[in-house]
Structure 1
Amino acid sequence: MKLQAVPVLIMTLAFSSADNFWGLVSPTPAAVSVFRTCYTNQQELGTCVKSSMCDMEPPKIDADTLIDYRFLPLRPRKSANECAFLMICCPRDKIRSGPVPPTIRTTSGCGYSNLAAARFRQGTRGSNSGYADFAEFPWMVALLNNTKSNHPNAGTGPGYIGGGTLIHPSVVLTVAHKVDTFSEGDLICRAGEWDTENDNEMYTHQDRDVRQIILHEQFNKLRSHSNIALLMLATPFVLQPHINVACLSHTMPPPGTLCYSMGWGRDFTRGKYYASVLKKIPLPLVDPDQCERKLRSTRLGQKYYLHHSLTCSGGVANIDTCIGDGGSSLVCPTGNPADLRYAVVGLVAYGIGCGQADVPGVYAKVPELYNWISTKIAMEGISDMPYVLN
């Protein structure tokens, strides 16, 4: 099962095994028979399977109908024969004995966007749908609460907490305010997630336990100063085409640079519900002095000042990160534009509402905190730093 939604801040979910790569093994006749029977456009009798299991071109997917919100009932099928999202009706004589993985370019280094995997979700590139393609941000991690205790954010079972960034197979970077009240045993990090409502992706996600939470010593929760944390994992993630490490930037690009954030937080433009498919949010960087002036015109008042450990982006009406996106990365293009490579410059921290014109969002400033990150990782006995740009 996948992430389900409840109102406000918590999304409940059931966990599937990190090692259970469903659909990446040869199906048996018995396994195929449990899938839905369907009819193709040519009225051939078929079976609903993942597109990688069918020896025919998958149909185009309409970007405008991709999303089912977790708190809303699922869209009814048009007919009893219609297949579920991300599956196709395959004639039974064209069902493969094993899947054919998509061709994803091999890259050496951090921060590469695997847009070649968008073949999995055909017809949506360049659609400006507001949602990321599969494997577009392979460093994105979902932070999950694995406790049924009386923790205020625990809900009734495992739930979604916020976002994180994979910067080493054994290290996840996030904001401190998302994890400062949790114990290590409460947290699970999930990499490789995309659509939270089904397991039909070409590659499945992986879950890892957290063995240690490291908070910045100067973290000030009231003002969000030095709002950063490292999650040291009990076992490393296995890097795959849809799971890879991010680059961290030493410096901030100039104001106006178009960057991106992502997450499964509230999709305020489509209702008060969490997104089921990973969002992709274009956000221009904002000059710190200009950001401070704009935020002083809000309820923060004239005494507000932007701390040196914070930076800003956005301020465009109806385009913003929102509740539930905390901890997700803010990434900016780096190097040759044709390489589709990004570096993390910020982590979603806070804002005044969501998507208000001329009200930028505030992010933990990664270049300012870069040395702290490297020092803490080295102190843990980790010598390799794959997040370093080269």
Structure 2
Amino acid sequence: MGVCAKASSCSKEAEKLDDSSSNFILREGNPCHFLETCCPVTQLLAKPRKPEAIKDVSCGYSNPGASVFREKVGSSKSGYADYGEFPWMVALLKTGAAGWVDENYLGGGTIIHPSVVMTVAHKVDTLKPEELKCRAGEWDTQSEYEAYTHQDRSVDKIIVHEEFFRIHVHNNIALLILKKPFIKEPHVGVACLSLALPPPGTVCYSMGWGEDFTKSAKYANLLKKITLPLVSGDDCQRRYRNTRLGSRYTLHRSLTCAGGEALVDTCIGDGGSSLVCPVGNPGDLRYAVVGMVAYGLECGTENVPGVYVKVPELYDWVGTQMAREGFNRSTYDVGTEAQFKLRS
């Protein structure tokens, strides 16, 4: 006899018992939520298993499935991320309710150090630290069935770029210093930051829980994964001048662009989420952050790319602020070998 349970609440011995060649009854007609496992009652644990210790790996490594969940829930250009696929992804939430409340969701952020989250300034420049918290390890906002729980952290300090210009969204970057560091787990990790942009046309990815406009949903329940080619600054500026913004539109040096395909785009509520490109060997599943979601015209309009904060342009600013706060900048260093492959 089996019952539905989190994978962490079922003993590892149950994995040996759960064999399709000898245990058809356990698997047939499984009524469990897709993030649960059907666990024999004799294998239920009094306390959930703690996450296994993970190696202190370098930044930027994806962990699709987070060692426990391997089913892909989306494979299109505008689909959903796998559980743990972007372990540096953070949800910015207003303080208040312990659970996920859509009205409290502000946007995305990126873990660049266990105690530091990078995001866009326009999401946090009017807030006090006590009004904001950061959540790592989230995936399905409407479920508590994930194998590992999310981690919430209070914000101690908000550092906004001193030349942030809200009207035109220039230098749109901020760092959030946390009161307590995040703990590395299979679904929580640190991102790499890139020193340079890959060539235009490079296929990169963004994510977020913002508006799921292809399904007419205000917010996505599952973390989205959007496939986006990079667009050169000159090309992006030309395309925007062909919109209602007109010929005076100028793309600032602190911004870059990606996308431009109909119905494939980040959207309202995704602001601050990272734009990441593959680095290193293709089989490594390693990424570096080249941008953050900033703005666009509508969502998913053909030939109109999304505009992203250009992280390489602001790389030195991030390093200066990290040093002032006493943090080691090596946490987000992608390394010379991987960086070289990024530029090629």
Q: TM-score, normalised by structure 1?
A: 0.76
Whole-Å Cα distance in 2 between the matches of residues 122 and 281 of structure 1? 18
Alignment of 1:199-238 (within 5 A): 199-238=144-183
Residue pair 2:64, 2:70 contacting (<8 A) in 1 also: no
Instruction: Point out where structure 2 has 5 or more consecutive residues left out of the alignment.
Output: 21-28, 336-344
Q: Deviations over 1:307-342 (max 9, x none)?
A: 000000000111100000000000000111111100
* Structure with the higher fraction of residues in helix conformation: 2
Distance 1:270 1:279 in 2: 12
Give the 5 Å matches for 1:63-212. Answer: 82-96=31-45, 106=55, 108-117=57-66, 119-122=68-71, 124=73, 130-146=79-95, 159-212=104-157
1:302 matches 2:247: yes
Between the aligned partners of 1:112 and 1:341, the Cα distance in structure 2 is: 4
Equivalent in the alignment of 1:48: 4
Matched position secondary structure for 1:385: helix
Q: Matches of 2:6 and 2:326 in 1, distance apart? A: 42
- Is the Cα contact below 8 Å between 1:101 and 1:202 reproduced in 2? no
The CA deviation string for residues 259-293 of structure 1, in whole angstroms up to 9 with x for no partner, is 00000000001113211111111000001111001
Change (3 A) 1:134 1:118: farther
For 1:186 and 1:322, the matched residues in 2 are separated by 24
Q: Secondary structure at the match of 2:85?
A: coil
Any conservation in 2 of the 1:164–1:329 contact (CA below 8 Å)? yes
Counterpart AA for 1:298:
T
Does structure 2 retain, via aligned residues, the 8 Å contact 1:105–1:116? Answer: no
Q: Which residue of 2 aligns with 1:20?
A: none
1:141 deviates by 0.5
- Asked whether 1:260 is paired with 2:260, we answer no
Aligned twin of 1:355: 300
Q: Which residue of 2 aligns with 1:323?
A: 268
SS in 1 for 2:283: helix
Structure 1 residues 240 and 103 mapped into 2: Cα distance closer, same or farther (>3 Å)? closer
Secondary structure, counterpart of 1:261 in structure 2: strand
User: What is the letter of the counterpart of residue 2 of structure 2?
Assistant: G
8 Å CA contact retained: 2:322, 2:329: no
Note if 1:387 corresponds to 2:343. no
Task: Name the CA distance, whole Å, in 1 between partners of 2:139 and 2:305.
Answer: 26
Change (3 A) 1:276 1:125: closer
In structure 2, do the counterparts of structure 1 residues 218 and 132 end up closer, same or farther at CA, with 3 Å as the change threshold?
same
* 2:281 partner amino acid: N
Distance of 2:187 and 2:93 partners within structure 1: 19
Q: Distance in 1 between matches of 2:310 and 2:78?
A: 28
1:118/1:125 contact within 8 Å kept = no
Task: Structure 1: give runs of 5+ residues left out of the alignment.
Answer: 1-44, 60-78, 149-155
- 1:94 to 1:170, Cα distance in 2 relative to 1, 3 A: closer
Is residue 241 of structure 1 aligned with residue 197 of structure 2?
A: no
Give the Cα–Cα distance (whole angstroms) in 1 for the partners of residues 50 and 37 of structure 2.
16
* Aligned-pair CA distance for 1:384: 4.3
Instruction: Tell me by how many angstroms 1:383 deviates.
Output: 3.3
Q: Please state how far the C-alpha of 1:195 moved relative to its aligned partner.
A: 0.8
Number of residue pairs the alignment of both structures matches: 319
Mapped contact 1:146–1:158 kept (Cα < 8 A): no
Shift of 1:203: 1.1
Structure 1 residues 316, 102: CA separation in 2 closer, same or farther (over 3 Å shift)? farther
Helix, strand or coil: the match of 2:214? coil
Tell me which residue corresponds to 2:235.
290
Deviation of 1:84 (Å): 3.4
Instruction: Supply the distance in 2 between the matched residues of 1:291 and 1:255 (Cα, whole angstroms).
Output: 11
**Equivalent AA in structure 1 for residue 79 of structure 2:** G
Computed over aligned residues only, the root mean square deviation of the Cα atoms, in angstroms, reads 2.5
Cα-to-partner distance string for 1:222-265 (whole Å, 9 max, x where unaligned)? 10100000101111111111111100000000000000000000
Letter in 2 for 1:133: D
Alpha-carbon distance in structure 1 between the residues aligned to 2:156 and 2:55: 31
Contact 1:104 1:114 in 2 (8 A): no
**Could you say if the C-alpha distance between residues 254 and 139 of structure 1 is closer, same or farther in structure 2, counting changes exceeding 3 Å?**
same
Amino acid at match of 1:219: F
The question of whether the paired residues in 2 share the 8 Å contact of 1:146 and 1:157 is answered with no
User: What amino acid is the match of 2:140?
Assistant: D
CA deviations 1:364-385 (Å, max 9, x no partner) are 0000000000001101122343
Distance 1:167 1:58, change over 3 A: farther
Structure 1 counterpart of 2:31, one-letter code: E
